[in-house]
Amino acid sequence: MTMISYAQNGEDVLLDRLFPHGPGFYIDVGAHDPVHLSVTKHFYDRGWSESISTRNRWRFARLRDQRPRDINLNVGVSDREGTMTFYEAPGATGWSTFSRAQADQLRARGLEVIERTVPVITLANLCDRYVNRPIDFLKIDAESHEAEVIRGGDWRRWRPRVVLVESAERPAWETDLLEAEYLFAIFDGINRFYVRSENARPASQAQHASQFCRRLHHV
């Protein structure tokens, strides 16, 4: 069967090979749009329901209207509860960020950046409040705020089977996932994929995509 990929780099194609059967559950931290560059659109169309997407202001209404089965949260995800300054780029909404350094880079490129205060929640508390089933995959695309999202997780209690995080290089936060007994599986050029150790077959961490697919059993 022909599959339409909506994701930026075919991430949904790889995930579909890992989770080919039945409905599942995802958490999409930093969802940009319900369709454009969406890692989760394909799975929503497959009937995955009551999954979670988070997004601040820009295009949130599109998520809410086009993903009625999802739990759509208009909040940021970080390593603490409260409020934070969010830097919105109306001309490039996918680059909106909690990172002042990234916001400064956007301004240097001539883009308008609007600052506003938004509510934030930790990943652990998000799961405690809204998740009542196993998490098949967690996608994190937080525009230079990935470390804070990961630090805010309770990786002992909430263990997604697969975690994919957008990162162009090996990041400092990877240590946190490795210490939580996640194994690095593959870098696709944009994202780094990790598999929880209880779903991994013994193998070295230097894996090709085919080996990555074989790592998940009993999924």
- 128 found inside a domain: yes
Q: What pLDDT does residue 130 have? A: 95
Higher pLDDT, residue 32 or 47: 47
Residue 215's pLDDT band, with cuts at 50, 70 and 90, is: low
- pLDDT tens digits for 40-76? 999 999 999 778 877 656 678 888 899 999 999 999 9
Find, among 218, 157, 206, 155, the residue nearest to 182 by Cα: 155
Mean residue pLDDT of the chain comes to 88
Residue 139's beta-bridge partner residues? 28, 164
Q: Which residue has the higher pLDDT, 22 or 19?
A: 19
Work out the number of other CB atoms within 10 angstroms of the CB of residue 40: 25
Q: What is the CATH number of the domain that holds 28?
A: 3.40.50.150
How many structural domains comprise the chain? 1
* pLDDT confidence of residue 62: 86
For residue 205, what pLDDT is reported?
Answer: 45
38/176 Cα distance (integer angstroms): 26
199 lies in a domain? yes
Task: With H, G, I as helix, E, B as strand and everything else as coil, classify residue 40.
Answer: coil
pLDDT at position 211 over 80: no
* 2 belongs to a structural domain: no
Higher pLDDT, 33 or 49: 33
* Residue 95 reports pLDDT greater than 80: yes
Could you tell me if residue 74 is inside a domain?
Answer: yes
Q: Is residue 90 domain-resident?
A: no
Reference 171, options 206, 134, 145; nearest CA is: 145
| Structural domain boundaries, residue 125 | 11-78+121-215
- Extract the tokens encoding 92: 């490039």
Whether 212 shows a pLDDT value over 80: the answer reads no
Higher per-residue confidence, 217 vs 23: 23
- Integer Cα distance of 207 and 86 in angstroms: 37
pLDDT average, residue stretch 122-138: 96
**Under 8 Å between Cβ of 86 and 76:** yes
60 within a domain of the structure (yes/no): yes
